[in-house]
Each structure stands twice: as structure tokens, then as C-alpha cells.
Structure 1
Amino acid sequence: MWTLQDAKNKFSAVVEAALAGTPQEVTRRGRPAVVVLSIEEYHRLLNSAVQARESFADHLMAFPGGDLGRPDVAPRNVDV
């Protein structure tokens, strides 16, 4: 894991490690901020996500459904 300042100072090393197959995590102000990874790994992850994603229609059709019904509510008095 790299701090942002170290990653800036040694960016070539960050890139080389990512190209070697090890994603490089960078923190900013002590918190995880970004990951540097090779373009091949990026495309692999992107293609995997696209293939696993279902269509919006499939998502809607998977709704458990059933009759949700409406609550029995008395109308309010408007003659006041």
C-alpha cells in the first residue's frame, strides 16, 4: 500500500508493480483512495461485470411480486 505522496514520487515503481500483476493500493490522508492496475486486469474485471449483469427487464421480472394490496384507511373528514 502506498501513500499518495510516495506513489507520486515513485510512480514508475507503482506502474511496474501493477503491470507485473499486483494491483497497487494508494491511500490519501490515511484512507484507501484508489487502486492502480494493469489495463489487462481492468478489462478482465470490466468484461466479467458486464457478463454477470442481467437486463433491467430481467431484474423487474425477478421481483417476488404477489398482490401487495392496499391498506384499509378511512377517508378524512373534509366538512370542517
Structure 2
Amino acid sequence: MGQAAHTEAWSVADAKARLSELLETAASNGPQTISRRGRPVAVVVSVEEWERRKRRQGTLAEFLATAPVGDEDLVVERVKGGRVREVDL
């Protein structure tokens, strides 16, 4: 690459004009943010990064069993005399 890799957000115009460089930078340096009018609107990641991040790790039950709940135990109480909402299925 002729220019230094972006570490900040790419503008939409830069991303469009230099798409190949954006893709190479995402592959070699990690996720790249694209911004419009100074606000982030998208992130470009390599396929390898995407596959790694979307992989499911464990079950919901495992997550809940190991999730921190803070200093206090979670106590769930049902309101006595509360109405049960009917739901059409």
C-alpha cells in the first residue's frame, strides 16, 4: 500500500474511492469503521474475523450459569394477585 493504514474511521467517499485498500486494511489490521458526516454507519471486517465473531460459544444455560450477577443474588418475585395476560398463539 502506498499510504499508511487507516486507524480512524473512513469517510464514505474514501471507502468508495479506495475500496480495495479498505478491504486489504480490514484483512490485515482488523475491523474498519466507515462514517457518514462524522458518524459511524458501518464496519468492514475480514471474512475470517466475521466467522470468528459469529461463532456460537456455549449454550444459553451455560452463559446464565456463569454470568456475574453482582454482589447480590438475583431474586425474582411474582406480584400476588397480579393479572395474567392472555396471549393468542
- State yes or no: 1:24 paired with 2:35: no
CA displacement 1:47-71 (0-9 Å, x = unmatched): 1xx225516xx7xxxx843332136
- Bigger radius of gyration among the two: 1
Superposition RMSD on alpha carbons, in Å? Answer: 2.3
Question: What are the ranges of 5 or more consecutive residues in structure 1 without an aligned counterpart?
Answer: 72-80
Instruction: Report how many residues are paired.
Output: 63
TM-score by length of 1: 0.65
Question: What are the ranges of 5 or more consecutive residues in structure 2 without an aligned counterpart?
Answer: 1-8, 65-73, 83-89
TM-score by length of 2: 0.59
Runs of 4+ in 1 over 4 A off after TM superposition: none
Which one has a larger percent helix, Structure 1 or Structure 2?
Answer: 1
- CA–CA distance in 2 between the matches of 1:39 and 1:20? 12
